[in-house]
Structure 1
Amino acid sequence: MRSPRHVRTSKHSAQHGSQHSSAPVGTTVPADPSRRLSVALACADGDWPHEDWPAPDDPYVGRVLPLSPPYRALRERPSESTESAVDVVVLRCEDPSTAFAELLKAMGAMSAPVIVLSPRRDTETVVEVFRGGAGYLVEGDYCTHMLSSAVMAATVGHTYLSPTACAALRDAARMMPGGGEATERMRALLSPREREVMELLSTGLGAQEIGLRLGLSEKTVRNNLSNIYAKLDARGGTDAVLRWLGAPYSDTLGPLGSTAR
């Protein structure tokens, strides 16, 4: 699987959506919050289920650029306009295991984050997409407001998962070796407050929602997360959640890809 394509947005999740931070070295800077975003919509003709999205008053998404397989238009445009015109790529597909790889190939060196929409909810598929750095929304498990939030969240380095996708990731971590006493020793490195923050993060809440649950400011939650990442030697929220759940990211899921970004 290729290295992560990185999402970047303001964490404005729907009630149970997940926004795991996963911004690696080389991630592009956050989008300008003063303008609405442009989304490349990658799906087969007539296969998009949300004709009313984005709504005219959508606070995050301003325009959608339809793309049909094999998505060559992403690279055929002049490079200077491709990167500036497309903030996020949304892939709607039946089988992410093939369509996601095809999309990444078409994107080439493009660094725009990707969000996958699919009816597939099996653990293997969700983990594969998550390892590739993309958000994942299971059909029937999200609304268009959540989709817009996921797009926005992608622009500031959050990998957004719908509730079912988040549960699949947790199930995958529980089934993987590496838990038990080693996991408890790792968790003991955190303070009681940091453990509370991690438990909420692992259920799919973003920093804003965690702050509301714990009566903390968002800045305080983010400071806690920075300390947690350092203590767990985690590269970001994605890595930290997997370690917290007992599945060390680098050991159990394997490397993210052949190229570090």
Structure 2
Amino acid sequence: MAQSILLRSLMLHRRTVLLPSNGGRLRCLAALHLSGRVGQQMRSGGGKALQESQGGDSNVSTDVRPIGEKIKENTKTASYTAIILAGLGVTGIMFYAIFRELFSKESSCNIYSKALARVVDDPRVQDAIGAPIKGFGETSRRGRRQHVAHSSFDRHGVPHMRMQFYVQGLRNKATVQLESRRDSNGKQQFRYLFVQLDHYPRTTIILEDNRAYDPKPASSALSPSSADSPFGSLALMSNNRDK
């Protein structure tokens, strides 16, 4: 009997050691739950801190390419930029030249248009070659009409331009010789404007002649080009239509 009582007490003691009470179980579960929440908070807090550190350090470069590749790309970009700037410069120069040629009062196109208007409106020219009258430049061997022949030069510091072109009416043709210069007011005026008829008797119609009003040079020496021919260097120009 005593042995059975002793054996029962030992078994109860072992069960008490192996299986804790309900209070002990609750305490163990609470400890495990608390440790899990603490670990989760630590993980989430660490991730947020990592994101903040990555977002705050925005000045750090993420480009990990080799230095040689970076230098090659920068050189290519600089070359493209230089080509674009050079193209823009050439385009600007072309537009400036076109604008000056078409709209400048001293351009050959403007002087030609002004002289042609004077020739077309002159009644003597209309009677001589017939109306309507049209003007054109040099003619090549193939019959193509090219640019108007002209030359620019300075005489006693004053810009001059000589020009030669042709007019054709209903009946005959004629050659126009002119010289334009800048006056004291900075405006272009004709020094002379002649129309020489190409048919017999090859009469010359003088539309304007202001050579008597030329400014006196400082020296008495005359220009060789003006002394040789009243038409200057244009007298040496050949009419390609006769070729």
Q: Please say whether Structure 1 and Structure 2 have the same fold, judged by a TM-score greater than 0.5.
A: no
TM-score, normalization: structure 2?
Answer: 0.24
> Which gives a bigger RCO, structure 1 or 2 (Cα 8 Å, sep 6+)?
1
Which has the larger helix fraction?
Answer: 2
Which has the larger strand fraction?
Answer: 2
